[in-house]
Amino acid sequence: MNGGIPYAEALAAWRAKIPAPAQPLALSAAELLERFHPDRQPGAMVPLCVGASAGLPCRVELAALLQSDSLIEDVDIAGASMLNADVLVIGGGGAGCVAALTAARTGARVILATKLRLGDSNTVMAEGGIQAAVGPEDSLQRHFEDTLRAGHFTADKALVAALVSDGPGVIRWLIQEGMGFDLAEGSGRMGGTLLRKKPGGATAARLLSYRDFTGLEMMRALREAVLLQPGITVLDRHPALELLTDDRGRCAGAALHDLAQGRTVLACAGATVLATGGAGRLHIAGFPTSNHYGATADGLVLAYRLGAALREVDSFQYHPTGIAWPPHMEGQLVSEAARASGAALVNGLGERFVDELNTRDIVAAAILREIAEGRGILRDGRAGVFLDTPGLEQTKPGILGKSLVTLTHLARRGGFDAADEPFLIRPTLHYQNGGVAIDHDGWSGVPGLLCAGEVTGGLHGRNRMMGNALLELVAFGRRAGSAAAADARAERPRNIGLAHLADWRRALIAQGLPLTRKAPLVFPPYGNFDMATERGRAA
């Protein structure tokens, strides 16, 4: 960073120019991304050496986990207690809950295993909304094209087509499950028109929301539905340590660790759905993160070790408006709903420098450029730019108290009034664009193993549009849950064990990789929790 502008000086510049006029990017989008996006920096990537995707470029932090040895051996599962189900769902966020509900409603017996507690996930932190082409001026084709364009045309077109086609039905399903949505002005209490906003990178207003805590409202409805649904057994605080296989190489469930009892539990199933979320708690490139505590790439590690192919694991999303100050709130999100509503981004000279409704990768790179070139704002050693919430309140009186409730609470926690003082923000690690390669029903290519949600790749290409994550977890949670239930009725696991680990360890040794490095991580290192130590204590 080449210096910066002191906070008091920047505040004076902002006040002198409010509202700052819009300005075009000084660089082309391609040059901006190449020079300032964190994924493009020297040394960020290495090729994978082993596994189904050997040769694929991958973030160095993630590659270390993907090419690690298992935490457990055959001896560790001998004599372990065993649970049986038709379908095992690993992950208690939005995608996992939807998959479990869908499978159970077909009559399947479902085990839903969570690392933390049911609902502790990135889903609850999704504030901006969910996309679906439900407006009269919109279309599935426009949503399809917008998604491909935002992802730099690297997404799987078949997956994107499935995503956008499911959109209107997903909204109807969520309303039937009891989820609330904001209604347009003039709508009555008993019904009305859904309020639609235009998200960054979109050509139409298709973002549906519930204030600025849409994901929390979605998770409330899904959690209640799961707890009331017959046929689902929920195992809280049971992280997965390894997937199980049978004598045909088929996924047959998982070895779980009961954190409360300190023991291994085998959950055996005809089909397994991985819905373990992303990797934000790896703090890629040293960035703070908006992700929940359990987001440590466990599902990617387990699926890859079993033979699943990966894609775009060199691509991560850095949300433009993470909090930079105060320090105790660093990395928490200021919802994109603020920019969708008209809040401007302003540098230390009081100037706007980017179209705030551009795609997230471009907006984030533009902010990082301002900081790198000395036009950022410095406060107590933190650097960022302003999100002009007072300007938004002046333009739309009452919006902070009525629609941007979470934003207002965040400002109060930071000790200031968002209607009087702007947020100091900078990008925060937010989303894993790539993951396990799947088909339109969530199949991973490994028999018996399906995936849904952020653990998957292909839907977003190299950049995700806001609002598509909540749509994805419902659309593909439903698809994976339905496919898993149908498959489980036809297949029963047999001769279950960890046979796949022998080949994996031989591959590691052949590449000179150490067997001393173990994964999954389960919790981030600063949690002072080591699974190997924990299991040794229990033994």
DSSP state of 117: S
Question: How many structural domains comprise the chain?
Answer: 2
- CATH at 342: 3.90.700.10
Reported as a pLDDT band with limits 50, 70 and 90, residue 340 is confident
Last residue of a domain, one of 394, 414, 430: 430
pLDDT value for 355: 93
Q: Which amino acid would we find at residue 59?
A: R
**pLDDT value for 536:** 58
- CB-based contact 201:148 (threshold 8 Å): no
Q: Is the domain of 377 the same as that of 256?
A: no
For residue 46, tell me if it sits in a domain.
no
pLDDT at 224: 98
Q: Of 415, 430, 445, which one is at a domain's C-terminal end?
A: 430
Q: What is the pLDDT of residue 212?
A: 85
Domain containing 98 equals 74-315+433-490
What's phi and psi for 328, nearest 5 deg?
A: -70, -10
Question: Are 291 and 422 found together in one domain?
Answer: no
In this predicted structure, what is the pLDDT of residue 537?
57
- Answer for the pair 210, 217: CB distance below 8 angstroms, yes or no: yes
Same domain, 207 and 242: yes
Residue 508 lies in a domain: no
CA angle (45 as vertex; 438, 296 as ends), nearest 5: 60
* Range 150-166 average pLDDT: 97
The fraction of the chain above a pLDDT of 70, given in percent, is 98
Q: Tell me if 306 is assigned to some domain.
A: yes
Please list the alpha-helical segments (H only) found in 256-353: 298-306, 337-340
| Residues 9, 347: Cα–Cα separation, whole Å | 11
Average pLDDT for 370-375: 97
Residue tagged 């977890």 (tokens): 473
Answer for the pair 37, 361: CB distance below 8 angstroms, yes or no: yes
**Would the pLDDT of 25 be above 90?**
no
DSSP code, position 437: E
What whole-number distance in Å separates Cα of residue 250 and Cα of residue 271? 9
DSSP letter for 329, please: G
Across all residues in the chain, what is the average pLDDT?
Answer: 94
Return d(Cα 434, Cα 456) in angstroms, integer: 6
Using one digit for the tens of pLDDT, what is the confidence trace for 163-201? 999 999 999 999 999 999 999 987 665 667 999 999 889
Same domain for 420 and 437, yes or no, is no
**Domain contains 82:** yes
Report the CATH number that the domain containing residue 232 is assigned in CATH. Answer: 3.50.50.60
pLDDT at res. 336 = 85
Strand partners, 348: none
The residue-averaged pLDDT of 34-49 equals: 96
As a whole number of angstroms, the distance between CA 526 and CA 448 comes to 34
- Is 360 annotated in the active site? yes
Judgement on whether residues 95 and 170 belong to the same structural domain of the protein: yes
The strand pairing partners of 232, in sequence order, are 110
**Cβ distance 151 to 460 under 8 Å?**
yes
Q: Where are the alpha helices (DSSP H) in 248-323?
A: 298-306
* pLDDT of the residue at 1: 45
Q: Are residues 331 and 307 in the same domain?
A: no
Residue 533 clears pLDDT 60, i.e. is over it: yes
347/452 same-domain check:
no
For 426-444, what is the mean pLDDT?
97
Give Cβ neighbours of residue 497 (< 8 Å, ≥ 6 apart). Answer: 74, 77, 244, 245, 246
Spacing of C-alpha 233 from chain mean position:
25
Asked if residue 500 is part of any domain, the answer here is no
166 and 279 both lie in a single domain: yes
Task: Tell me whether residue 528 is in a domain.
Answer: no
Supply the pLDDT for residue 11: 97
51 lies in some domain: no
Q: Where are the beta strands (DSSP E) in 26-139?
A: 45-47, 57-59, 81-90, 110-113, 130-131
Distance CA 339, CA 198 (A): 10
pLDDT value of residue 539 = 52
Average pLDDT value for residue range 328-337: 91
Report residue 527's pLDDT band, with 50, 70 and 90 as the boundaries: confident
204 and 115, same structural domain? yes
Residue 57 lies in a domain: no
Apex CA 106: angle with CA 104 and CA 110, to 5°? 25
395 vs 308, 344, 392, 422, 429, CA distance in Å? 51, 11, 5, 14, 30
- Same domain for 99 and 189, yes or no, is yes
Residue 417 burial (CB < 10 Å; 0-12/13-18/19+)? middle
Q: What is the mean pLDDT of residues 55-75?
A: 97
Characterize 252-286 residue by residue with b for buried, 16 or more Cβ atoms within 10 angstroms of its Cβ, and e for exposed.
bbbbbbbbeeeebbbbbbbbbbbbbbbbbbbbbee
The reported pTM is 0.94
Please check whether residues 301 and 324 belong to one and the same domain. no
Instruction: State the catalytic residue, choosing from 281, 339, 352, 360.
Output: 360
- Residue 538: the pLDDT is 56
pLDDT at 16 over 80: yes
Residue where a domain stops, chosen among 383, 403, 430:
430
**Range 222-238 average pLDDT:** 98
* Residue 209, SS3 per DSSP: coil
CA dihedral 340, 343, 347, 353 (to 10 degrees): 50
Q: Which residue has the higher pLDDT, 21 or 89?
A: 89
Residue 107 shares a structural domain with residue 254: yes
CA distance 450 to 481: 9
pLDDT at 191: 64
The confidence score (pLDDT) of residue 529 equals 82
Q: What is the C-alpha separation between 524 and 76, in angstroms, rounded?
A: 23
Strand boundaries in 299-379, DSSP class E: 310-311, 316-325, 344-346, 377-379
